[in-house]
Amino acid sequence: MVAALRDARVVITGAGGGIGAALARRFAGEGARVVVNDIDAGAAKAVADEIGGLAVPGDASGIVAEARAALGGGIDIFCANAGVGSMAGVEAEDAVWNHVWDVNVMAHVRASRELLPEWLERGGGRFVATVSAAGLLTMPGDAPYSVTKHAALAFAEWLAVTYKHRGIHVHAVCPQGVRTDMLRGAGEAGELVLVPTAIEPEDVAEAVMRGIADERFLILPHPEAADYYVARATDTDRWISGMNRVQRQLEGS
């Protein structure tokens, strides 16, 4: 048990399934009061009913006020978990780029904009961003996802740098493959890069609990991602060549 989570008021976006639902179950198991958000109202209600939580369906970008009201006036932990991919490259139309950017980055910005005044006034709050290892590395076959996940990591890092001394705790959760609907829709790239080491959503939720307990910014459900991150930073050309070999495998060349 993470003592600090008992009676905490928690909001989780994209929690109708996958990682979000696993987080909702785990936070509820720790004694937190949980708002389950999802664009799919039925999925949000099903998870909320299961855990004794509160369903607040709708677009993840605009549910802070409603979630705050449902919890009785305040939010202690906000999990910006909703995310989308495109399985497209630079050829993706602007509408696709804009949608992925809006969900994967701007939803985090908009939520923070609403949360920070409350958190700064009382000197505490916790922002948990589900980023993906694509934010540390890249994801072959999906340019919008890779780019926006880098931006989501950068935004979480900026929040931590800017507000750490004022009681704001920030975590960036960066798993590789996780057995969810998103992975099942990731096509050949997902099969090649992510499926061999894929873990369960519950494994991610467990890693988040440990990360919160240890007050770690970077939460890596796949610990090996740290080695890849170091390799990318210290010998970038070699790392790019290695990832290009993966790309050539995808192309059958």
Q: What are phi and psi of 169, to 5 degrees?
A: -100, 130
Which amino acid, one-letter code, is at 223? P
- 242 lies in which domain range? 3-251
Angle at Cα 15 formed by Cα 41 and Cα 95, nearest 5°?
Answer: 75
Give the neighbor-by-neighbor strand order of the sheet with 77-80: 54-55, 33-36, 9-12, 77-80, 125-130, 168-173, 218-219
pLDDT tens digits along 33-69: 999 999 999 999 999 999 999 999 999 888 999 999 9
CB 121 within 8 A of CB 73: no
pLDDT tens digits along 88-142: 999 999 999 999 999 999 999 999 999 999 999 999 999 999 999 999 999 888 9
Cβ-based burial of 102 (10 A; exposed 0-12, middle 13-18, buried ≥19): middle
pLDDT tens digits along 178-214: 877 776 665 666 566 667 778 899 999 999 999 999 9
Task: Report the number of distinct structural domains present in the chain.
Answer: 1
CB 219 within 8 A of CB 211: yes
Side-chain-facing half-sphere of 105: CA atoms under 13 Å: 21
Catalytic residue among 145, 163, 228, 229: 145
Residue 217 belongs to domain with CATH number: 3.40.50.720
DSSP letter assigned to residue 151: H
pLDDT tens digits along 127-180: 999 999 999 999 888 999 999 999 999 999 999 999 999 999 999 999 998 877
CA-CA distance, 96 to 143, in Å (whole number)? 11
Active site residue 163: no
Which amino acid, one-letter code, is at 118? E
